[in-house]
Structure 1
Amino acid sequence: MKKIISSIVAAGAVAAICGFLFIHNEITDRVNPLISRQDMYVQINRNGQHLSPGGTEYTLDGYNKSGEKSEVTFYAGKDLRKNAYVKVSAKGKYVETWEEVKYKDLPKTVQSKLKQ
């Protein structure tokens, strides 16, 4: 009987770990060792969603240094300047940091995707 219970517990643990690795959201991506951190570049070309009590959430198209497109969602404590370029350090859907950058500091592959 103890072997059966041990087997069930082990199988449940394996299923939980496998499920954890394949579910993508901010929380799981933050700790998932299989997801690497990468810089994404976005242009503030539309309004963000104002959150209560303060700050703004932006969901924009972003590009990595290879020019591959991906949707990026991040939070800013204020409204960002229209048409500003922002470098977002992300690990999957988890955004670690963001900072405004100049157009000339964007990788060439990203410059061709974003307008000046």
Structure 2
Amino acid sequence: MKKAKLFGSVLAAFVVATAVGILSIHNQLTDRINPFLSEQISYAKVPQGSQRYRNIELYTAGQEKPTMMLKEMTGYDPEGQYVTVQHKGQYVKRVTYVSKEAFLERMPQ
């Protein structure tokens, strides 16, 4: 009986430690399944002529300073420079290219 209780306690501790470890790592996979992160819409200016973007500063509407740094994302429009990013932490769900006017409309003057 004592061995079963000890085994159950060790197993429970292992499961909790594993869950905490996974949720504290921020990458595309873990952020996608993390139930404590909410989905956000942010805005960014990306380098023109590229479709793979690294270290992109994301802004929330009305914010002067970046709210987070996105390690990597890909796009599909080599002509576009301004994007709306639907994301959950580092996990990018959708990238939408917008005009410069639409981008500046959401940024503080």
Pairwise TM-score range, normalised by the shorter structure:
0.7 to 0.9
1:59-106 alpha-carbon deviations (Å, 9 max, x no partner)? 222211141412222112x45226x21111110000001011123323
How far residue 45 of structure 1 moved from its aligned partner, in angstroms, is 3.1
1:33 & 1:110 partners in 2: Cα distance?
29
Instruction: Answer yes or no: is the 8 Å Cα contact 2:31–2:89 preserved in 1.
Output: yes
User: What are the ranges of 5 or more consecutive residues in structure 1 without an aligned counterpart?
Assistant: 49-55
1:35 & 1:93 partners in 2: Cα distance?
10
When structure 1 is superposed on structure 2, of 3-12 and 16-25 the one drifting more is 16-25
Task: In structure 1, give the amino acid aligned to 2:99.
Answer: K
TM-score by length of 2: 0.79
How far residue 108 of structure 1 moved from its aligned partner, in angstroms, is 4.2
SS of corresponding position for 1:106? helix
Q: 1:103 aligns with which of 85, 100, 103?
A: 100
Task: Return closer, same or farther for 1:11/1:90 CA change in 2, 3 Å cut-off.
Answer: same
Work out the number of aligned pairs and report it: 103
Q: 1:63 aligns with which of 59, 65, 78?
A: 59
Stretches of 4+ aligned residues off by more than 4 angstroms: none
Q: Aligned-pair RMSD on alpha carbons?
A: 2.1
TM-score by length of 1: 0.75
User: What are the ranges of 5 or more consecutive residues in structure 2 without an aligned counterpart?
Assistant: none
